[in-house]
Amino acid sequence: MKRLLLCALMGIVHSCERPPSPSHPNIVLLVVDDMGFGDVASYGHPTQEYTSIDRMAHEGTRFTQAYSADSLCSPSRSGFMTGRLPIRLGTVGGKRIFQPYDVGGLPKNETTMAEMLKQAGYVTGMVGKWHLGINAHNRTDGSHLPSKRGFDFVGLNLPFTNAWECDTTGEYYKNGPDPSRCFLYDGDEIVQQPIRFQWMTENLVHDWRRFLQERLQKDQKKTPFFFYFSFPQVHSTQFANPSFLGSSVRGMYGDSINEMSWAIGEVLDSLLKAGIAENTLVIFMSDHGPHAELCLNGGSTAGLKGGKSNSYEGGFRIPFIAWQPGTVKAGRVSHEVISSMDLYRTFRDMQNCPQQRGDLPTRNQHSVEATTVFGWNKHTGGTIHYKTSPIFLNDTVDPNLSYFCPNGKPRADWYVSASCPDEHLTTHDPPSVFDLAKDPYERYALEESDFVKQMRSQGANIVKEHRQTLVPVPIQMGHFDKNVVPCCDPPACRCDKITRREKANEEPSLHYPSVYKFFEGIGGIKGGI
């Protein structure tokens, strides 16, 4: 009965009369770091080469109004990993992201999607960026690493991030690389400090293949898997191996996207070759908006205002694509409003999982019905985003109550963002109201009117109701201890224990196939930008 109800809601499947698969669907979550809403061809970029991301959009469903949980890495990732707002997790404060010297991490009393799916019978794995905490007591305890948060297999991973200080060219960081902020793990062990990015993507693909091959050799028909492939691209600093250098007319940023997209193609092709693509749901998304201050090296919002770290559309609206041959409709474009936090509940409901620890009643304050993620029902209204300082309301027609930080330091051909503590915020009082359906670029705040007053009143009531549900939790960021900074060979903190594991077997595709239907507009607006 539940399956028939689900089928009735699934407006994007071809048929509900197919026999059930031998197991629950496998799930692959592909997350790119700092990529903007308009950074690929299928989202309107005029010069980015056609890549496997666009292939996913052509063969699956592309969403135009997907939002992240936050506009910075750690809070955003904590949000989609648990399905809960960062303010409810305590992943706020401090420097707004987990630093190598932070003793905090994603709270242990919260259930990650890996832990939830593992309890549902899945085998779980991940590679790439983590950024949800490292050590709590010393430089090796690994209290917050992914292996402690539900992942059975953990290959090469960056517990912190691809930081500016990891630059080896001198373009971003003249004194780099800094070993205290640049380290690569294999499982729970440091294998490279500082990081060398030359063969990074190939090695991550190798670990994905290693995981998949093990599943195929064991009990794939009985035991489904969940794999989290978290790319270090296109965070500063950008990188590309020799096979992809010069592959894009956009320069290094485009090269980096081409290399990352090659890896996505390898994932999709390996699923098809193994004959399990029809039973594998693949989700692609960015963790938040681009580092717009870096101009050509910082990504594109497709004209949306703002970017990483701020509250305008460009910071929160993200590319989001679902792919599953035979289930997810090919070539579909959805304008439904969804959130990256919806994934947790979606994955849970796909398994009919009971509630786990961390599934507090407040989860439904910000997570819409699971079926919404794939367009299985109609418009569901706005999503409240509550983070470090401001409150955000994003909807198709309703206003965006926004704050902005005007700080910044010009440098040559790009712009260096400055920190923006509360005292530097310009507060709109009363809040500025934008009609995102008619003005998705937030260029013109609506003039004062009875309608605007009504919208402000409704927004204030939503904010008030939201705040009433907040339960004080320990703040996880900003508790520093230099003794927890990872170090592979004290006191030098330098080592290199890995080699090139797998060579890229093809050059990037540099053409625009005539069969592809390009960008159809932002929100409900048709046409290009």
Provide φ and ψ at 352, rounded to 5°.
55, 40
Provide φ and ψ at 225, rounded to 5°.
-130, 155
- Residue 187's region, left for phi above 0, alpha for psi from -120 to 50, else beta, is left
pLDDT (tens digit, 9 = 90+) per residue, 424-448?
667 778 888 999 889 999 999 999 9
Strand 26-32 and strand 225-230: the pairing is parallel
The mean per-residue pLDDT over the stretch 322-338 comes to: 95
As a whole number of angstroms, the distance between CA 85 and CA 470 comes to 10
What residue spans of 178-291 are helical by DSSP H?
200-217, 252-273
As a whole number of angstroms, the distance between CA 128 and CA 306 comes to 27
First to last CA, the chain: 45
Contacts of 370 (CB under 8 A, 6+ apart): 342, 345, 346, 348, 349, 350
Of residues 24, 73, 405, 420, which has the active-site annotation? 73
166-180, 322-336, 354-368: segment of lowest average pLDDT = 354-368
pLDDT interval class at 525 (50, 70, 90): very low
Contacts of 480 (CB under 8 A, 6+ apart): 94, 99, 101, 102, 103
Residue 460 domain flag: no
The whole-number pLDDT of residue 13 equals: 40
More confident residue, 437 or 388: 437
Joined together, the tokens standing for residue 192 give: 């490279």
pLDDT at 5 over 80: no
The whole-number pLDDT of residue 423 equals: 65
pLDDT at 372 over 50: no
Residue 289 domain flag: yes
Residue 151, domain extent: 25-378+479-496
Contacts of 326 (CB under 8 A, 6+ apart): 14, 18, 278
Planar angle of CA 247, 205, 325, nearest 5 degrees? 90
Looking at the chain, the whole-number percentage of residues with pLDDT higher than 70 is: 76
Q: Count up the domains in the chain and report the number.
A: 1
The mean per-residue pLDDT over the stretch 457-477 comes to: 92
pLDDT (tens digit, 9 = 90+) per residue, 39-76?
999 999 999 999 999 999 999 999 999 999 998 999 99
The whole-number pLDDT of residue 331 equals: 95
- CA separation, residue 221 to residues 229, 267, 389, 476 (Å): 22, 19, 47, 40
Residue 49 domain flag: yes
The whole-number pLDDT of residue 311 equals: 84
Residue 423 domain flag: no
pLDDT (tens digit, 9 = 90+) per residue, 12-31?
443 333 333 445 899 999 99
Let me know if 488 is a catalytic residue.
no
CA-based nearest residue to 307, from 287, 337, 336: 287
Q: What is the dihedral of CA 306, 309, 310, 313, to 10 degrees?
A: 50
The mean per-residue pLDDT over the stretch 179-185 comes to: 95
The whole-number pLDDT of residue 407 equals: 37
Residue 71 domain flag: yes
Residue 102 domain flag: yes
The whole-number pLDDT of residue 251 equals: 92
pLDDT interval class at 117 (50, 70, 90): very high
pLDDT at 408 over 90: no
CA-based nearest residue to 104, from 386, 472, 481: 481
As a whole number of angstroms, the distance between CA 157 and CA 154 comes to 7
Residue 186 domain flag: yes
The whole-number pLDDT of residue 383 equals: 38
The mean per-residue pLDDT over the stretch 107-122 comes to: 96
The whole-number pLDDT of residue 425 equals: 66
**If you average pLDDT over every residue of the chain, what do you get?**
80
Let me know if 73 is a catalytic residue.
yes
CATH no. for residue 221? 3.40.720.10
pLDDT interval class at 502 (50, 70, 90): low
CB 65 within 8 A of CB 302: no
The whole-number pLDDT of residue 221 equals: 72
Strand 26-32 and strand 391-394: the pairing is unpaired
pLDDT interval class at 159 (50, 70, 90): very high
Residue 11 domain flag: no
DSSP 37: T
Helix (H, G, I), strand (E, B) or coil at 62: strand
pLDDT at 224 over 70: yes
The whole-number pLDDT of residue 18 equals: 36
Residue 6: its H or E element: helix 2-9
CA-based nearest residue to 192, from 177, 174, 207: 177
Q: Which of the given ranges, 11-20, 112-121, 415-424, has the highest pLDDT on average?
A: 112-121
Of residues 24, 45, 58, 131, which has the active-site annotation? 131
41-45, 315-319, 509-513: segment of lowest average pLDDT = 509-513
pTM comes to: 0.84
CB 323 within 8 A of CB 268: yes
pLDDT at 399 over 70: no
More confident residue, 8 or 168: 168
Total residue count of the chain as it appears in this document: 529
The mean per-residue pLDDT over the stretch 198-217 comes to: 94
Peptide bond into 433 cis (omega under 30): no
